[in-house]
Structure 1
Amino acid sequence: MFFDKKGILTYCSNSFEKLTGQKPGDLLKGLVKYRSIIHPDNHLHVINTINNSILNEQSCKLEFRIVMSNISEKYVDAILNPVYGSLGEIIGYGLSLRDITELKKNEIELLKKQYRLNRTNKELERIIELRTSDLQQKSAHLADSRTQFQNFVNYSAIWETFHDASGRIIYSSNAFEKITGYPVSDLLTEKVKIENLVHPDDLSDFAIKYSSALIGERVDDFEFRIFTKNHEIKWVSETIHQIYLDDGSRIGIRSGIKDVSFRRQLQKELFETKGYLENLFNYANVPIIVWQTDGKIIRFNPAFERLTQYTANEVIGKQIDCLFPEKTKEIALQLFQNTVHLQALNETEIPIECKNGDTKVIVWNSALVHEQTNKTITATIAQGQDISGRVEAEKRVFSAIIEAEERERSSFARELHDGLGPLLSSIKFGYEWLERPGLKTPREEIIKKIAANTDEAIRTVKEISSKLSPYVLTNFGPVFAISSYIDKISQIHDTQFHFESNTDKRFNPEIEVSLYRATLECINNAIKHAKAENVFISIIHLDESITVDISDDGIGFELAKELENPKGLGLFNMSNRIKSLGGDFKIFSEPEKGVHISFLLYL
């Protein structure tokens, strides 16, 4: 959207309807107020932020919710930027909105998970701190090494057991009761056996590990599930060490079992989060690629496979330059290598070569991937957008413009050859006729014919000159010239023209010609094609710009189809003429809804 310095909305793009459900035309006509789409909870903050930015002549960026025409809500981010004229003065403000609803939902979900993880981590730290403090307090009262060790194992969170050489349990720490809910006495009297607590799905692996320990092998961090007294399932990790006397004879084993349920739960949540991120990568509609600092490709998502016809297996492990056409490979490789030196790709156009040999122009954006310490760069991730169709369309437009210019030159050449040429020849013939001796035709009659042909030649020159640069435009300016043209065609057409302007000033000749030609092209299109009953023309001059709005109530057309039509040279010529002067050109149309053209020229 574009607002002039008075805060009047003068332009709104078609994507406004896709975002809000409201028609841009309704917004421009004031039928819909842009403030009404802001969610009530965000209204005051958004309006104040925008007003303060305008007051301070600064840019601003903010996020808020909007209410669509169907009452549903969306999250958007907005960027307000001052728009400057050619002399550096502010002529208005541009406001762009982008739908971030899905991103916001993902952020909220990730924040929830982060909050749960942080809360769990803090609880774990608190528990560790309490248990550590508890152990430190009790260890201070231990008098000898045996008492110190026994108290340590009894108050430790690790369930310690000692087995004799036959496997019978002869000691268990108090942590057994904390972990299982059963008293230690039940274990020592074999009222409760460890194998009876093991989950059925883990019992076979447990039996193998325990048997290997009884024959002298060491077991490290074997994880399995057990049932507690209250039928709760817990994950535990067991480490078994062999106990030997000084003479090397084996007298038993020492087992340490700790509750790892909390860690297992964290691992599960981490796995789910990782899976979610993998889904984002794999199901994203935009091509995404990741390469290491040495240029080797390590990730290649399905959207990139569809774009290039390469499978991930065909490119992973290869250098990134395998995707570049030979003639642009050196420049492209340099840009990609610069990303590891903090020179990110930002809306950078770099072509790639598909498997079938086709070249596609891609707009790239990239970011760096760091290791957990957030210091060392490990890779670069980039997202691309295929703009090949747009580039080809621009080429077709350029070719069409050149063709139109060539036709115009040919037309002028024919007029000079077929119109002015014969008249000049007849004048030359008349003068040669006067020089002949013994004229039968009176000299006065010959001179009269020469004068008549000279007058006709002068009129022809004026007509050709008028087509190139009309007399009324040159002498009275574009506004008067346009008004005069409207007066003339109103006499021979039934269409009603409604013209208004707030200026009669003169401008740079190049500006005047472009303004005049583009406006007449719009008027003639409305007469020839639109079948309009009314045509509205408005020319508004502000400090450093002039804006022209032309609309009709005619039959309209499908804009996308018309822009793809190479025969639609009028639109291309108008747009090219305005944009070549640094101006803006916008057109809106739908079948049966007329045409609205708006263009702005900076003075």
Structure 2
Amino acid sequence: MVVNTYIRESGIEVLGRIPWGTHFCLFYQTRQDLANVLIPYFRAGLENNEYCVWITSEPLEEAEAKARMFEAVPDFGKYLERGQIEIIPYDQWYVIDGVFDSGRVLSGWVQKLQSALSRGFSGLRLSGNTFWLEKSGWNDFLDYEQAINDTIGKYSMIALCTYSLDRCSANDILDVVSTHQFAMSKRDGEWKLIESKEQKEARKALQETEIRFRSLIQNSFDIIRILDREGRIIFDSPSSERILGYPPSFTLGRSPLDFIHPDDRQLVQSSLGEVYLNVNRGTPTEFRIRKADGEYLDVESTGVNMIGVPGVDGIVITTRPITERKRTEKENEQLLARLRETQVYLESLINYANAPIIVWNPSFTITRFNRAFERISGYMADEVVGKPLSILFPASSRYESLEQIKNTLKGEHWESVEIPIQHKNGSVRIALWNSANVYDEDSHTLVATIAQGQDITRRKKAEKELEEAKLQAELYLDLIAHDISNMHQIMLMQIELAEEILQSDGKLDGDDREILQSLSRTMDKAARLIDNVRKLQKLNTGDYRLEALDLAALIQDVLNTYTNIPGRDITLTYTPCKGSIVRANLLLRDVFLNLIDNAVKHSSGPLEIGIDLHKINLNGRSYYRVAVEDNGKGIPDEKKDEIFQRFKRGHTKTKGTGLGLYLVRSLVEGFGGYVEVQNRVLGDYTKGSRFLVYLPAIGEAQRGGE
């Protein structure tokens, strides 16, 4: 049978089960009426481990009450010896020294309850006869009854007050009923309940609650136990027998620790202690519990301290098997261990791979960054993880690189795509990349993109050097096969012409001497061309050492060679800048010789050439800028990007060597600077050209060379 510790057996047939906190009254007419109700009332309390107190008065006094209990209750003497019941005359409880003190009596009931609970009883069941009560004390006693009615719901207590019907008027009966939850009275020889509509509905609700409670306990998959204040099992649900194999009668009165695995007892005892102290409010404890067959079962228990709560007054323990969960947890742990092992392997594979590897999320935020990528970029992983991917790309190629990356969101992957990576120190490395997208379980939601690269900076440098060597070879071949060959043919023709004149005239006179002068000029061009080729070759092989040069003085020295050019009206102006020291070598003279020669060669008539030297600051660096401008015929805008290039063989029929401005650019770049060309007059190239040479100031040149 399932016992609800909140619902108690009243022992009174017409009443049935009642909850703790019940306060009701009985109107009797005879001594037998009292005995017929009170004896089964107290017998039920004794049998249900309740502490009982019976306050007697006429017409059923102490001696007779005790005698009738001995007759009706088996082993009543044991209950007396155990101290589970007290039968007290009214003048030793209600009236002391002829005075009724309601406060003393109320306090006395609470003390009786506390004592009973401390001794392991479930609660207090009491009854007091009011036959002794006189009219003079009627109102005080009603106040006392009302106080009980207002507070009894807080306690594990049931109170039955008995009134002699013959000593009560109609008004008295109404007063008594109003201070109790309900009343009992005999009508036509049967006991009837006197209760209001609200009380009937409350009783019905109580019965329904009990039915639900029974159903809950009967069908619960969990083991539900209640422990008393001493830690003994006073209630065990039917599921205990179903799960553990023990009938409820076997566990009642025993300690739950008797069924715990020896290795887990200390843990369970500690957890129970916390529940008793109200410092553990539902925290689960896992342990092993012994079944009736001797096997142990993995379970999880939670405890709630409900000591002092009417209807429970104990520790409620809910226990459920977790064998299946433990098995699943073990499998999950094994799976997690394998996953961790795989993760460690992958972490090592990524971190220590020779190839740079990087991972970013759909927001283009870096999430992984291996050591090879640290080497290629100069950044440590913790410097870039969480940062935008764009920080790794040079500004000049950032947009193009990000556009290629965005294409991966469309399901594309890279195959041998070259992407520049900007090193922390500002230099640029070239990496050959491939990438793949990582999707969620739905195969549609993008989780991350992983890219693996190969540092091909050295390869690209070697390719560039090879291309430059190829261009140099083509240059030399072009010069030999075309420029020098043409000059050779011109000289042969001039020599043959001179020989014919000598053979016919015997001498070269007047205009005929122009042939020799032309021959001399052609030989001089060939010599300069060969000299320039040698200079380029030495520049490429690093044979020229750099040193500190006074740029202003070097330009003045170059200008001194153009003070008198026969047959040309040339005006030179020069604005120097003192202290203009650069790091270069004497080949710097050829830069300005070629620029001035270029202006002279491509002009006719009066020519004005201006040279201006100034110190400027560009992008935080100091340069000396030399502006060489002329009022010649100028350079068309579409040709400006071509004039510094050496024409490849077969690409042009342009007359001349085409080496002067190529030499200018090569030399200036070798000194750490750069050169550009503009129109002398903005928007009109026909008004002449303006060449700008930028050379780092000597401090900047030193820094750039380090």
Is the structural similarity TM-score above 0.5?
Answer: no
Bin for the TM-score computed over the shorter chain: 0.3 to 0.5
Higher RCO, 1 vs 2 (CA within 8 Å, ≥6 residues apart): 2
Instruction: Give the TM-score, by structure 1 length.
Output: 0.40
Higher Cα radius of gyration:
2
Instruction: Give the TM-score, by structure 2 length.
Output: 0.35
